[in-house]
Copies of this chain bind each other. A is one copy, B any other.
Amino acid sequence: MKNGGNTQFCAVIADDHEIVRAGLQSALERPGLVEEHGIAVVGQAVNGLETIEKVKLHRPDLLLLDISMPLASGAEVLLDIRRWSRDTKIVVFTAITAPGLLGGLIESQVDGLFSKSGGNDELYSKLPLILRGGRHVAKVFVDLLRDATPAPDLTQRERQTLTMIVSGKTNAEIAALMGVSPKTAEKHRASLMRKLGVRSVVELMSRALQDGLIEQHNHLK
């Protein structure tokens, strides 16, 4: 870590909404709110690519990150950043609620996970600990993940099938694209629906959207 003891920390903020970046910068920089002498915001990014760029350039102590951004969002960015700047604490600040995605973030070893809904007190009060090596997941997410029915782990073929189903493919088309018998495609579809506990394609799409198994923009390419 570049900064120890009482020296000032520095941060990069990544969010596709300027109003959010401005709000966060103002909060981080204000002396006494998060840190005694404030946190210096040395860079901002509006998308995933810019985030990686800025982190490589500045090697900040903290990356405050919204994971729903255009151009390379989420997990890919996290991996890259870990590679390029291993001492940067990654704190995700997001509006998503899909248990599947949230669980994935926790597994990918983010240092902090906070919700845009509700107050920001938890974020501000936990950031100092995180900057010094701690980790924290917002209480609302902990509760949500505890109560959520665990996202069933799908096999590779089932994932492929799901993707194709929600993009409008029929069983026959899926079978052709996977190079297997229509019966096999049908079988994957059936297992998929059994695991997710749904009885129709519509319910399948709803569940998949809720669980973050697919993204909004995957459909109908």
Secondary structure call for the A interface? helix
Considering only residues 207-221 of chain A, those with a C-beta below 8 Å from chain B are 207, 209-210, 216, 219-220
Closest approach, in angstroms, between the C-beta of A185 and any C-beta of chain B? 15
Q: Quick check: B216 and A209 within 8 Å, CB to CB?
A: yes
The residues of B that contact A202 with a CB separation of less than 8 Å are 165-168, 201-202, 205, 219
Number of interface residues, chain A, beta carbon within 8 A: 34
Q: Which one, B20, B200, B205, B209, contacts A19 given CB within 8 A? A: B20
Q: Quick check: A203 and B168 within 8 Å, CB to CB?
A: yes
The residues of B that contact A108 with a CB separation of less than 8 Å are none
Which of A115-123, A133-141, A151-159 contacts its partner? A115-123
A24 contacts the other chain (CB 8 A): yes
Closest approach, in angstroms, between the C-beta of A75 and any C-beta of chain B? 22
A190 contacts the other chain (CB 8 A): no
The residues of B that contact A116 with a CB separation of less than 8 Å are 17-19
A177 contacts the other chain (CB 8 A): no
> Given A23-B26, A205-B202, do A18 and B119 touch, yes or no (CB 8 Å)?
yes
Q: 7 tightest CB-CB pairs across the interface, nearest first?
A: A23-B23, A206-B219, A19-B23, A17-B116, A168-B202, A168-B203, A206-B220
